[in-house]
Amino acid sequence: MLPLRTALACFSLLISSAAHAQEFIGFDRASFGKVVLNQKQSAAGSSDMQLELAVGDYNNEPIQNYSADSVFARMGRAVGRLDILTDSKVSPVAPCTAFIVSENYLLTNHHCVPGILDNDHVKATTIEAVKFVVGYVQQGVTEGTKIFEVNPVPLEASKDLDFAILEVFGDPSAEYGKLKLSDRLPQVGDPYWVIGHPMGEAQRISREKCRANSPAVSDNRLLHTCDTLPGNSGSPVIDASLQQVVGLHHAGSKRDSVNFAIPMREILSHSLILAALVPNVPVTSDLENKVKVSPATVRTGEVLTVEAIVPANCSPFLFDLSSGGKLTPIPANIFDVSKSGDGDTRYVNNAASKYGIIVQAEDERGEHHLGYICQKDGMSQDDVKQALRALRGVVGTRSSGQLSAGAYTVTYTTATYSIAD
C-alpha cells in the first residue's frame, strides 16, 4: 500500500558562457545576500544597444515619494531586485529586476539569468546563486525587506524574446502579491509605469512622460519612453489603465532615444507556463479527460480508484500533487495494464489491485491532482524534474496542457480529488 507523500528535491546547473555583449552595473561579492549593495564596479558594454536608457530629462523617481496605499506602491510590492552571484572577478554581484507572477515563479530577462554568462564584459562562467530582494523601497532602510532564494536554472527561457521564468522558494506572493499579465496589443500613446531597481538601489518608478512610442510595436518589440538605468532589466512595463503588465523591459538605444520591451503578448504566445496563468490565453492538450479518480472525496484508510488512458506514443510518469505543492511519484507497476483496440494503454488501480493506493493519516488534506506527464525519448532525469516542478504552478489552473522541460515540450493531464479530515 502506498502513502501519498514526499516531494521533489531542488537541483542546480552550471552553464558555460558564450559571446554576447550587454551592460550591467556590478557590485563586490561581499554585497551578496544584503539589502543595501555597495562598492560598485562597472561592467558596461560598448554597442549602441544598451541595457537601459534615460530618455531626455531623467524622470525615474523613488517609489517612496508615494504613500504605501497608493496604486504605485501597491503595484510595486510584487517587484523586487534580483541579485546574481557569479564567479566573475570584474563584477561578482549583478543586480537586475524581477517580479512575482505566481506563488512559485518570477519573471525577468534572459540576459540576466542565465544570459549574464554570455556577457564578455562580466567574464563569468558560473552562476553560483540568485536571491530575490523584496520590500526595499527606501534607500538604505532594511526594515520591511525580505530575501528569498531562487533557483538559478530557469524553468522556461528564451534568448530571442529575452525572458526567463525562475522558481522562487518560500512563496513571496503570500505577502507581496503578484502582477497580472495582459496579452493586449500596445497602442501609440498608451500610458505606462515601469517599476524596478535601477543601479541596484531602492525601488523607483518611471511614470512621467512614460508611454508607448510611435510606432508602439516594431519588429516584435514594444517601444516606450519610460526612463530606466542599468538594473532595470526585467522590470514590468505596466499599462496604467489596465494595471497589468504588457511588456518586459530589456534594452535601449542611444541613437534613437527610445527604450525597448518585449510585448507580453509575444511572451505569452511562446511561454506555456505563463499562458496557463492568463485566463484568455488557451493551453490545449490532446490528453484532456484521460484520467479519472474516484471517489471525489476520500478519508484516511479509504482506497482510491484510478483509471488513466495513455496514448500509444506516451511513456507516462504518474504522480500525485497536493495543493500545498507536495509531489509524489506513483510507480507504474502498481497498476493493472491492458491494451485497447485503438492502441491506447489502460492503467487501472483499485481495491482489487495487488498494491492499492490508500489514504494515510499523514497525507496532506485538501485538493489533490493525480495524473501523468508524457515523457519524451531522450529526456534526462533533470528534464523530468523540471517538468514536474513546473506542474506546481499550472495544474491548479488547468487540468491538462503542455509544459517546458529543458529542450522538450511535454503534455500532462490530471484529475482532481480531495482528502477530507
CB–CB of 84/134 below 8 Å? no
The full length of the chain comes to 421
Q: What is the pLDDT of residues 152-191, one digit of tens each?
A: 999 888 888 999 999 999 999 999 999 999 988 999 999 9
Helices (H), 249-402: 264-270, 272-275, 381-394
Q: What is the pLDDT of residues 112-124, one digit of tens each?
A: 999 999 998 899 9
Residue 349 φ/ψ, nearest 5 degrees: -140, 125
Q: What is the pLDDT of residues 249-292, one digit of tens each?
A: 988 765 557 889 999 998 988 887 888 888 766 555 667 779 99
* Residue carrying C-alpha cell 484516511: 300
User: What Å distances lie between residue 277 and 280, 283, 345, CA to CA?
Assistant: 9, 10, 31
**pTM confidence score:** 0.67
**Burial of residue 290 (number of CB atoms within 10 Å: 0-12, 13-18, 19+):** buried
Confidence band of 47 (pLDDT split at 50, 70, 90) = very low
Q: What is the pLDDT of residues 307-322, one digit of tens each?
A: 999 988 888 999 999 9
Q: What is the pLDDT of residues 330-365, one digit of tens each?
A: 999 999 999 877 789 999 999 999 999 999 999 999
- Does domain 12-270 bear CATH number 2.40.50.140? no
Q: CA-CA distance, 32 to 30, in Å (whole number)?
A: 6
Terminal alpha carbon distance of the chain: 20
Confidence band of 38 (pLDDT split at 50, 70, 90) = confident
Q: What is the pLDDT of residues 111-160, one digit of tens each?
A: 999 999 999 889 999 999 999 999 999 999 999 999 999 999 998 888 88
The three grid cell numbers given for residue 319, joined into one nine-digit string: 504522480
Give the pairing of strands 297-298 and 408-419: parallel
Q: CA-CA distance, 20 to 15, in Å (whole number)?
A: 14
- Which SS3 state, helix, strand or coil, does residue 321 take? strand
Higher pLDDT, 130 or 17: 130
pLDDT at 10 (0 to 100): 28
The residues spanned by each domain of the chain are 12-270, 291-419
pLDDT at 281 (0 to 100): 66
Cβ neighbors of 227 (< 8 A, separation 6 or more) are 53, 54, 55, 56, 58, 59, 60, 194, 206, 209, 210, 259
> How high does pLDDT run on average in the chain?
85
**Burial of residue 333 (number of CB atoms within 10 Å: 0-12, 13-18, 19+):** exposed
CB–CB of 64/136 below 8 Å? no
